[in-house]
């Protein structure tokens, strides 16, 4: 029993050190300092919930983009309206339809222009999601009649 407990402790330590290492590498990737102290508020922490949530979707690269929606099996394609594969970083850095000047680094800083971009992207994205839900519901009604 003691052997299994020591294995579990080693495994938990390995996972924890890997997570911290991954966070530090991700932070370095976007030229941010790795924050290991959870009491330090990140830029944008005082934003309204919808904007803060969307900002964190971009920070973690997990949100309503083509790649994630396809991974969740909610669509058959992962293409952006511009024709490229749509990832969260593509939306901010490369897409000529939605690009933010300064890219992810600027978005992470949550300055005034980045918050304005977040607000406009969030409202545009909400409109598109609402229309897709309405069209799916309408097609379901047509099928079952």
What HEC string does 77-138 produce?
Answer: CCECCCCCECCHHHHHHHCCCCCCCCHHHHHHHCCHHHHHHHHHHHHHHHHHHHHHHHHHHH
pLDDT value of position 24: 54
Are 54 and 100 contained in the same domain?
Answer: yes
The segments of the chain whose pLDDT lies below 70 read: 1-37, 125-145
pLDDT value of position 31: 47
Are 51 and 82 contained in the same domain?
Answer: yes
Are 34 and 100 contained in the same domain?
Answer: no
**What is the pTM (predicted TM-score) of this model?**
0.62
List the domain range (segments joined by +) for residue 109.
Answer: 46-144
Are 34 and 103 contained in the same domain?
Answer: no
């Amino acid at each position: 029993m003691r052997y299994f407990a020591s294995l579990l402790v080693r495994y938990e330590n390995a996972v924890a050190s890997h997570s911290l290492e991954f966070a530090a590498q991700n932070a370095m990737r976007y030229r941010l300092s790795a924050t290991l102290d959870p009491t330090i508020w990140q830029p944008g922490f005082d934003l309204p919930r919808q904007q803060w949530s969307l900002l964190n979707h971009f920070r973690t690269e997990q949100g309503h983009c083509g790649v994630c929606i396809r991974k969740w099996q909610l669509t058959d394609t992962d293409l952006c309206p511009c024709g490229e594969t749509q990832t969260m970083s593509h939306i901010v850095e490369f897409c000529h339809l939605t690009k933010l000047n300064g890219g992810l680094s600027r978005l992470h800083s949550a300055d005034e222009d980045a918050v304005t971009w977040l607000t406009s992207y969030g409202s545009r994205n909400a409109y598109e999601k609402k229309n897709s839900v309405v069209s799916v519901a309408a097609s379901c009604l047509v099928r079952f009649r």
